[in-house]
A and B are shown apart, each in its own frame.
Chain A
């Protein structure tokens, strides 16, 4: 075990992982976070806690992670390169670990010009691959990025993102290889709508032996409406929404669109479960957390497997 997180145990035991996501509030509404977490509890193996997603200010990812932990959901602490330099990143990683966080997802972050503070200084001191490598060095060598010793290294299970849909396709798998080489233990992909392209990408990864080296969690987002599907198709960079998805949503009664969206997601999950090289599914039900229990049920993801020796707190690490 590298970190001993619940997610790591699930994956190492060979279970098909099912993870969720919680977006922190635009304020201090703790109850809002707790409510979202309760929908996810028992229905997912862990939940990503986003870090100022879409470059819009929200409650910090580590703080939200702690609240979610209090509700019995294991967090995956997201950290973007946009807002912090290497000093702040390492400090937050130490703090997060000290308070019991065991999973981290290293991301570049959406550019600040698209968010609510477009004139903020984008930090990008290091990039996402260097962040992955920095966390690995902290964990495995007990060294800061500068080379100094860490007393009590943070044992994080390290995640990174992959987008099989950005151009050029042939480069995507090499970028994945770089993230694995840098130290990623698991990968979460961009939302998949174009299954054909995903199949091609995962096959390339499999052929290169990459799926043996890393756990790949396929990203799934259920469409809530035709408007959402169109928005994602036209406005969200790096998103590939085929016209046939929109056709399918348009083909049902207005009141059934959301249900059809869930149906599509469940069909995708079923296929992904059978796809070689896919270790699990990461469900991004954006502002739709209350639907997670239903989606988990309909996708055949319940009950979630129980793994032995889950550590209740950080203190137990000393026993290792």
Chain B
């Protein structure tokens, strides 16, 4: 899943500077799973921000609201009546969530509270490891399920164990990078629904 890490408090405070009514929007999806942007973290961040505002004599208020997922418009509907009461939005979601908020509320400034880092796996509680760069052309089929950078030794050992060394003896053609432009994913079973729009 997507792994994020919260920006330093000072950076967040700096971005919302000048706004008195701030709504911090959490997300119950990936960022909640990686313990960085769910309901609990929204509360903590808001408490820290409130303290900072008090220390600096800043007359701003920050409230919180966590939606099920920020990357789905239907999940944002419940925010519509709430958002009008605020000067700006802070998003605790990944970069996709931030953009979804900005798209839905074009008149409201939206600021990211997270750095979106990676697609990764859970190692320990609160410890995550990057595993995928979403290149759009998965090569794991011939690398024994191991991501390439600096891992050829591991790849060799695993493929040898599985009697699949031929997979890396072949020369693979130059990668056709799919992650150089923003992509839209339409699952095959739904393609017929959007055929007109695509034209």
Question: CB within 8 Å of B: which residues of A?
Answer: 86, 111, 125-126, 129-130, 133-134, 145, 166-168, 171, 174, 177-178, 181-182
Contact = CB atoms under 8 A, between A and B. Distances in A.
Contacts of A166: 153
Interface string B170-182: 0111110100000
A133 B150 CA distance: 21
What is the predominant secondary structure among interface residues of chain B facing chain A? loop
B171 A178 contact: yes
Nearest to A111: B150
Nearest to A129: B171
A133 B175 contact: no
Given A174-B169, A178-B169, A126 B156 contact: no
Contacts of B172: 130
**The 9 nearest A-B residue pairs measured at CB:** A126-B174, A130-B174, A171-B156, A167-B153, A182-B171, A168-B156, A174-B169, A178-B171, A181-B171
Contacts, number: 30
Interface of B: 150, 152-153, 156-157, 165, 168-169, 171-175, 177
Contacts of B177: 125
A177 B169 contact: yes
A26 B195 CA distance: 56
A167 B152 CA distance: 9
Contacts of A133: 171
A126 B172 CA distance: 10
A130 B175 CA distance: 9
Contact of B175 (A125, A134, A167, A182): A125
Nearest to B155: A171
Contacts of B156: 168, 171
A167 B151 CA distance: 11
Contacts of B157: 168
Contacts of B169: 174, 177-178
Contacts of A125: 174-175, 177
A168 B159 CA distance: 13
